[in-house]
Amino acid sequence: MVTTDTTITPIAPIDLASQYLRLKNDIDGRIAAVLSHGRFILGPEVESFEREIAEFCGARHAVGVSSGRDALVIALWAHGIGAGDAVFVPSFTFAATAGAVVSAGASPVFVDVDPDGFLMAPDDLVRAIERTAEAGRLRPKAVMPVDLFGIPADYPAIGPIAEAHGLAVIADAAQSVGGSLGGRAVGALAPITATSFFPTKPLGAYGDGGCLLTDDDSMASLFRSIRVHGQEGDERQQRKGMTGRLDTMQAAILQAKLAVFPDELDARERVARAYDAGFGDIVTAPHRPDGTRSAWAQYTIKSDRRDAIAAALAAAGVTARVYYRYGAHLHEGFREYSDGPGSLPVTEGLAHRVLSLPMHPYLTDAEIDRVIAIVRQAAG
Ligand SMILES: Cc1ncc(COP(=O)(O)O)c(C=O)c1O
């Protein structure tokens, strides 16, 4: 619903303009520096940003790439995964997770999520692996858990399951850089972590971008080769590759944003806690398993009155969004990989109950209070 009351000040889901005002001098200076030196592809800022983000995430290597989806495809190719291989993914996520598997030439196998949270359910992963192995049509090769809305997946449970079945673990951390689990940062929780710097992510560029994080030296070299057409050493193509680089301008912008990122993460946490306290048990606040810190890409509530709450927010000029209205197993483009409606009941149930509220570091107390008041009234 579009509000017609011009006296209402809208509340947007994110606020990149306030962030730019804060960082303008730094960002403008860094962009000017790139324009002056002119090394737009794999310039010095890419390497220095890679060092900084690797250190921030507690990984030995960071390899800047063209997007979060490309990061996942590069990781799959580096493992030699392609036609005839099964990659286990949650369905309750953005389409790019399963989409990357299809882009790599492999087949996504959809797994349900935990009823309390939004994360891949380890017991359903086991069921999916066993069913795939029994059917014998696809070779189980990898699992790609998703740190949905910024909350790290259950790597302590998923890691041993993957190991027992000989599967690679590739974390889809597109939404979660800045989060942590058991004191370890996202980027150090899985052997390979892929993230996105899409502008609306907690750490976002001013265009597309992504990165791969790993401690594995040989994987990092493969990633570097695949992102430049599979070249290595000289101009010959040594393997399958793509145009998959993070560009210099985006790296320079990300350096400015990374400098204030810890402070912004604290601000997101403050918003989340204010929402938690304001809602009490009138709606279900996002579940954070013990020991997790979310990067708060989204603050997603659950309620049977979701549609009424969304309508009330919209009428008051507050933009709230439904992520995700359909599990990926119900997207037309994934039909051939899906067992159809009814096959993933938790995912299908969540799709009717979730609502993501405005969440960014520059929300004022007054704005937070307004959101809380509207939600409380509509949910009560
Ligand atoms: C969970 C998840 N995976 C993958 C991606 C893909 O990232 P990108 O848009 O940078 O390709 C996104 C981003 O939108 C995402 O949210």
Report DSSP state, residue 351: T
Amino acid at 295: A
How confident is residue 7, by pLDDT bands cut at 50, 70 and 90?
low
295, 180 in Cβ contact below 8 A? no
Q: Give the CA count within 13 Å in the CB-facing half-sphere of 62.
A: 26
pLDDT at position 4 is: 53
* E strand or H helix at 196: strand 192-196
Please give the number of the atom of ligand 1 that sits closest to the Cα of 147: 1
Angle, CA 333 vertex, CA 329 and CA 338 arms, to 5°: 30
172 lines ligand 1 (CB under 6 A): yes
Taking only the tens place, the pLDDT of each residue in 222-256 is 999 999 999 998 888 999 999 999 999 999 999 99
320, 372 in Cβ contact below 8 A? no
- CATH T-level fold of 262-379: Aspartate Aminotransferase, domain 1 (3.90.1150)
Question: Tokens standing for 153?
Answer: 């997946």
Question: Tokens standing for 126?
Answer: 């086991």
63, 210 in Cβ contact below 8 A? no
How far apart are the CA of 175 and the centre of ligand 1, in A? 7
Taking only the tens place, the pLDDT of each residue in 142-177 is 999 999 999 999 999 999 999 999 999 999 999 999
Has residue 293 got a pLDDT over 80? yes
Amino acid at 66: S
Cα 352 to Cα 133, 301, 304, 312, 346: the distances in Å are 32, 11, 8, 17, 10
Question: Tokens standing for 268?
Answer: 């997101």
Distance in angstroms (rounded) separating the CA atoms of residues 314 and 187: 36
93 lines ligand 1 (CB under 6 A): yes
Angle, CA 286 vertex, CA 284 and CA 292 arms, to 5°: 145
Amino acid at 352: H
Amino acid at 333: G
175 lines ligand 1 (CB under 6 A): yes
Domain boundaries along the sequence of the chain: 21-255, 262-379
Has residue 57 got a pLDDT over 70? yes
What percentage of the chain exceeds 70 in pLDDT?
98
How far apart are the CA of 69 and the centre of ligand 1, in A? 6
Dihedral angle over CA of 180, 371, 267, 157, nearest 10: 0
98, 334 in Cβ contact below 8 A? yes
Please give the number of the atom of ligand 1 that sits closest to the Cα of 69: 11
Do the bridges between strand 168-172 and strand 139-143 make them parallel or antiparallel, or are there none, so unpaired?
parallel
Question: Tokens standing for 94?
Answer: 């953005």
Do the bridges between strand 354-357 and strand 299-302 make them parallel or antiparallel, or are there none, so unpaired?
antiparallel
How far apart are the CA of 94 and the centre of ligand 1, in A? 7
Please check whether the domain covering 21-255 is classified as CATH 3.30.365.10: no
pLDDT at position 8 is: 78
Taking only the tens place, the pLDDT of each residue in 73-93 is 999 999 999 999 999 999 999
Q: Which phi and psi (to 5°) does residue 120 adopt?
A: -50, 130
Q: Is 188 helix (H, G, I), strand (E, B) or coil?
A: coil
Taking only the tens place, the pLDDT of each residue in 328-363 is 999 999 999 999 999 999 999 999 999 999 999 999
294 lines ligand 1 (CB under 6 A): no
Tell me the longest C-alpha to C-alpha distance in the chain. Answer: 66
Distance in angstroms (rounded) separating the CA atoms of residues 125 and 110: 9
